[in-house]
């Protein structure tokens, strides 16, 4: 084979390989959110089958974790305070993980806040500001470490109720990635209501580009380039109500029992595990800027992007070169710069 023929052969091989990847994109609603699965696979039939498998898995998990579907495990647990053994293995796995996260984040991530969140009207959208006494009373039953899982099953104390809303979508995305991998999919992008999970790279070999929402003007405030990572954002602008000029958001500070009043507009976590990214994005939001950075210094197994109310963009060293600011920030800082001081 002469040189020209070889180049043509390479070109045709490349075309064949990239054309061999068919894109399949399917959307559905689950876990109270709009989800889109985009897969590159060898045929559209295979792509459709994998999409369906993922949708079925997410709906199955919703059937376990939902606080509103009356036959879900969590609904039954919240109402009866007991789930007989054997506890569903996925619920048990998520519970163990959540307990670890509750402890690691000093309680900033707490799935036992449900009665408090309901009192503020976030479960029905009939919003109200409860009295401080009522909030204090409800906070008495929010010690998540007291949830017992043993041979008898799963036990809640008297008035405790659980809600895995801050970690469920991330957990579901991890399960979806397992399905993609077991089907040999090398390139895919999941969008589970803003929880992004990138599998591999794009079929052309470039990185996935994921936007971080601009909390002030809409559009994107920054873009991240990632490969095989979860990118999960918790933002105060996502769900809130306003009363007497005060904004009350859907992320709660477990110490006060009130909507978080942290100095952050949003927290984005980038790491491999969707459930870790999801739990951390909520927890670091509650912690606020300084404690979030301190938490990162003590646990550098993830990357973060903080968008602060003072219009700063602060990101961790691992994202250097992979983040592009797309709006006017008052200050852009990479944590490594301040570490080195």
Residues contributing to the site for ligand ADP (CB under 6 A): 108-111, 113, 117, 163, 165-166, 169, 194, 234, 238, 250-252, 254, 278, 281-282, 286
Q: Does the annotation flag 173 for ligand binding?
A: no
CB 330 within 8 A of CB 311: yes
- Gap between the Cα atoms of 141 and 57, Å rounded: 32
Nearer to ligand ADP, 185 or 190 (CB): 190
User: Positive or negative, the Cα torsion across 159, 165, 171, 176?
Assistant: positive
Nearer to ligand ADP, 238 or 333 (CB): 238
> Which listed residue (67, 282, 316, 335) binds Mg ion by CB under 5 A?
282
Instruction: For residue 43, give both structure tokens.
Output: 């045929």
Cβ neighbours of residue 52 under 8 Å, at least 6 residues apart? 26
* Other Cβ atoms within 10 Å of 194 Cβ, number: 17
Min dist CB 259 to ligand ADP, Å, is 8
- C-alpha of 1 from chain center: 52
Window 166-205: residues binding Mg ion (CB under 5 A): 166
Min dist CB 111 to ligand ADP, Å, is 5
Run of H or E including 287: helix 274-287
Q: How many residues does the structure list for the chain? A: 341
Min dist CB 245 to Mg ion, Å, is 27
Min dist CB 114 to ligand ADP, Å, is 7
Going from the C-alpha of 339 to that of each of 89, 284, 324, 332, the distances in angstroms are: 41, 19, 21, 15
Which does residue 229 touch among Mg ion, ligand ADP, none (CB within 5 to 8 A, set by kind)?
none
* Other Cβ atoms within 10 Å of 206 Cβ, number: 10
Nearer to ligand ADP, 115 or 165 (CB): 165
Annotated binding residues for Mg(2+), written as ranges, equal 166, 278, 282
Residues that bind Mg ion (CB under 5 A): 166, 278, 281-282
Annotated binding residues, written as ranges, equal 166, 278, 282
């Amino acid at each position: 084979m002469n040189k020209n023929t070889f180049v043509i052969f390479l070109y045709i091989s490349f075309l064949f390989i990239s054309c061999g990847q068919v894109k399949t994109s399917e959307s559905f609603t689950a876990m109270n959110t709009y989800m889109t699965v985009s897969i590159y696979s060898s045929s559209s039939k295979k792509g459709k089958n994998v999409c369906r498998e993922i949708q079925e898995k997410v709906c199955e998990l919703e059937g376990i974790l939902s606080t509103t579907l009356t036959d879900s495990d969590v609904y039954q647990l919240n109402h009866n305070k007991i789930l007989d053994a054997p506890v569903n293995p996925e619920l048990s796995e998520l519970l163990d993980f959540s307990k670890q996260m509750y402890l690691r984040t000093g309680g900033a991530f707490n799935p036992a806040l449900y009665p408090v969140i309901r009192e503020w009207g976030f479960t029905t959208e009939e919003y109200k500001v409860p009295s401080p006494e009522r909030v204090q009373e409800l906070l008495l039953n929010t010690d998540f470490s007291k949830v017992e899982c043993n041979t008898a099953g799963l036990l809640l104390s008297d008035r405790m109720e659980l809600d895995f809303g801050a970690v469920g979508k991330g957990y579901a995305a991890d399960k979806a990635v397992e399905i993609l991998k077991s089907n040999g999919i090398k390139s895919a992008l999941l969008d589970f209501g803003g929880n992004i999970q990138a599998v591999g790279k794009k079929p052309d070999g470039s990185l996935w580009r994921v936007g971080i929402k601009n909390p002030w003007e809409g559009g994107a405030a920054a873009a991240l380039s990632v490969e095989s990572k979860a990118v999960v954002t918790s933002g105060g602008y996502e769900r809130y109500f306003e009363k007497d000029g005060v904004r009350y958001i859907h992320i709660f500070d477990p110490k006060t029992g009130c909507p978080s009043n942290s100095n952050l507009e949003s927290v984005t976590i980038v790491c491999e595990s969707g459930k870790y990214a999801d739990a951390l994005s909520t927890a670091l939001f509650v912690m606020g800027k300084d404690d979030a950075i301190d938490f990162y210094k003590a646990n550098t197994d993830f990357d973060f992007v903080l968008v602060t109310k003072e219009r700063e963009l602060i990101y961790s060293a691992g994202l250097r070169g992979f983040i592009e600011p797309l709006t006017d920030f008052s200050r852009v800082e990479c944590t490594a710069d301040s570490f080195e001081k």
